[in-house]
Amino acid sequence: MDNRSIVALDFDDADQVIRIVNELSDLVSWFKVGKQLFTSTGPRIVEQLREAGKSVFLDLG
């Protein structure tokens, strides 16, 4: 099945984000990193998601 859902990671805690991504890993491949998360973690969170094989929608607007 081709899942086109994007999960918004609207948190500022990287540990919480990683837990959620791991829980949804088999169901979702796209995750949105917004301004709140990017500001609190910097580009490292995007790198971690990409290293985990996830696609990232970076929304800093």
Could you read off the pLDDT of 11-36 as tens digits, one per residue?
999 999 999 999 998 999 999 999 99
- Span 25-52, average pLDDT: 95
Task: Name the token pair of 37.
Answer: 């998360």
What pLDDT score was predicted for residue 22?
Answer: 94
The DSSP 8-state label assigned to residue 16 in this structure reads: H
- Span 35-49, average pLDDT: 96
pLDDT category of residue 2 using cuts at 50, 70 and 90: low
SS3 content of the chain, % helix, strand, coil (to 5): 45, 25, 35
Taking residue 38's Cβ as centre, other Cβ atoms within 10 Å add up to 18
The SS3 of residue 4 is coil
pLDDT of residue 39 exceeding 70, the answer is yes
What pLDDT score was predicted for residue 16?
Answer: 94
